[in-house]
Amino acid sequence: MKGLDLAVLLEKLNEEIMANKANKTLKNISGRFYVDDQCIDCDLCRAIAPDFFTRDHDNGYSIVTCQPSTPEEEELCREAMRSCPVEAIGDDGDDD
């Protein structure tokens, strides 16, 4: 691995796997949590946090339909995010 910094490589790979705000699915409600176009419609986030994640039946993927407003709700959304098998859920921590 001459000339290759392993930490930089791992960071780059992680960026490619993690949810990307630029690739949000269209119907996410605005706010910190979102689903991007990597979603494989596995239903896990909707099972964990059904008040916040919903299936977009027209397009076959999950979307965020409600943003959490309490610490407990935020933790539920983070649990859904951690559980997503393809890391399609993002948390950008702001309200755009």
Contacts with ligand SF4 by CB under 6 A lie at 35, 39-45, 61-62, 84-86, 88-89
Least distance from C-beta 84 to ligand SF4, angstroms? 3
User: Considering beta carbons, is residue 10 or 47 the nearer one to ligand SF4?
Assistant: 47
How far apart are alpha carbons 33 and 82 in whole angstroms?
Answer: 12
Compute the CA torsion angle 73, 79, 80, 85 (nearest 10 deg).
Answer: 170
Nearer to ligand SF4, 3 or 85 (CB): 85
**Burial profile 31-55: b = 16 or more Cβ within 10 angstroms, e = fewer:** bbbbbbebbeeeebbbebbeebbbb
Q: Which is nearer to ligand SF4, 62 or 94 (CB)?
A: 62
Q: How far is the CB of 32 from ligand SF4 (least distance, A)?
A: 15
